[in-house]
């Protein structure tokens, strides 16, 4: 496994970040434990979750699974960079959501309890909250840091202007600010290149792409994502991009790599990316991508991928000229 610094912080994380959204609703607890253990054995030290994850099992179920796995071996916690999120509704209560100072404090305490840990390494705002002043959010985050409950703060699904606003206000408060942004980013969805990625590079945030395989669209047939690929919506998306996906799969065949592996490796070649999330639903899916950090894509291959999946271009030139 290879490691990179997470943004401008001194924290080092594995290039593959284990996403856990499948744990519970799609992946049984026993196999989730197996995936967590194998990932750590392979050198993955970065585990990402969210307080809302749990699907049909209910919010918080995924954090509880991770907590039970951590409880099996006390040494596991210190080897991991543990990340979770706050923002999404946790109940029908009008205040049990968003980024108010009250909710951030209560949600953090609840996540710590479910995970069975004393601190969270990276506490991420799951979405922007336009109703809450940024100074109120920083007040809550600073309090959690002072209490020793969180170490670093990150954002997720933030536009470029919100990243700039958050870090400018943090600087005015003489605090460290955001160190990471988790965004939708893959070969098909490249809009973060317009302003989010440039903002991350300017303010020293490491980008953590989610949905790197575009919900399975970039995984290719026989990848383990076949179940998702059989849905009506996915079949329509595949048909709409048949030529593009055919060219991509042909290039992957020339490289003797799976489409999933090439799509993940491409992200690790993009400036500003700290780690890419993988969300295996089975141990087989995990095993199939553990070698991705070792894949080196040539300049020619990167150019071919740009031809198949064109970039948006720089902002504002891409849309203003």
Q: Which of 23, 92, 58, 5 is nearest to 278 (CA)?
A: 23
Q: Rounded to the nearest 10 degrees, what angle do helices 134-146 and 101-115 cross at?
A: 40
User: What is the C-alpha to C-alpha distance for residues 28 and 32, in angstroms, rounded to an integer?
Assistant: 6
- Establish whether 3 is a catalytic residue: no
**Catalytically annotated residue among 53, 123, 152, 203:** 53
**Strand 206-210 to 276-278 pairing:** unpaired
Cβ–Cβ under 8 Å, residues 295 and 47: no
Pick the closest to residue 180 from 311, 260, 85, 89 (CA basis).
85
Say how far apart CA 119 and CA 146 lie, in whole Å.
11
Q: Name the strand (E) or helix (H) holding 13.
A: strand 12-14
Based on the number of CB atoms within 10 Å of its own CB, is 140 exposed (0-12), middle (13-18) or buried (19 or more)? Answer: buried
Query: Which residues are designated catalytic?
Result: 53
């Amino acid at each position: 496994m290879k490691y990179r610094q997470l943004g401008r912080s001194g924290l080092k994380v594995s290039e593959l970040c284990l996403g856990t959204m499948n744990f519970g609703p799609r992946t049984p607890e026993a196999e989730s434990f197996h995936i967590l253990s194998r990932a750590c054995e392979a050198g993955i030290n970065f585990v990402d979750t969210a307080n809302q994850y749990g699907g049909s099992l209910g919010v918080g179920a995924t954090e509880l699974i991770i907590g039970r796995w951590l409880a099996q071996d006390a040494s596991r916690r210190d080897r991991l960079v543990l990340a979770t999120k706050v923002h999404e509704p946790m109940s029908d209560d009008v205040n049990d959501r968003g980024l108010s100072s009250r909710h951030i404090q209560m949600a953090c305490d609840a996540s710590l309890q479910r995970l069975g840990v004393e601190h969270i390494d990276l506490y991420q705002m799951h979405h922007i909250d336009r109703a809450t002043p940024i100074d109120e959010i920083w007040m809550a985050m600073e309090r959690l840091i002072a209490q020793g409950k969180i170490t670093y703060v990150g954002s997720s699904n933030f536009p470029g202007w919100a990243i700039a606003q958050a870090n400018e206000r943090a600087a005015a408060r003489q605090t460290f600010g955001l160190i990471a942004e988790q965004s939708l980013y893959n070969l098909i969805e490249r809009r973060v290149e317009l302003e989010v990625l440039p903002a991350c590079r300017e303010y020293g945030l490491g980008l953590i792409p989610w949905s790197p395989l575009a919900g399975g669209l970039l995984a290719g047939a026989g990848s383990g994502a076949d179940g998702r690929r059989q849905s009506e919506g996915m079949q329509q998306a595949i048909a709409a991009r048949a030529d593009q996906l055919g060219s991509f799969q042909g290039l992957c065949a020339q490289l003797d790599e799976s489409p999933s592996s090439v799509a993940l490796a491409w992200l690790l070649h993009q400036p500003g990316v700290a780690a890419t999330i993988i969300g295996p639903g089975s141990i087989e899916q995990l095993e199939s991508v553990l070698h991705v950090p070792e894949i080196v894509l040539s300049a020619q291959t990167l150019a071919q991928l740009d031809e198949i999946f064109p970039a948006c271009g720089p902002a504002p030139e891409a849309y203003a000229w």
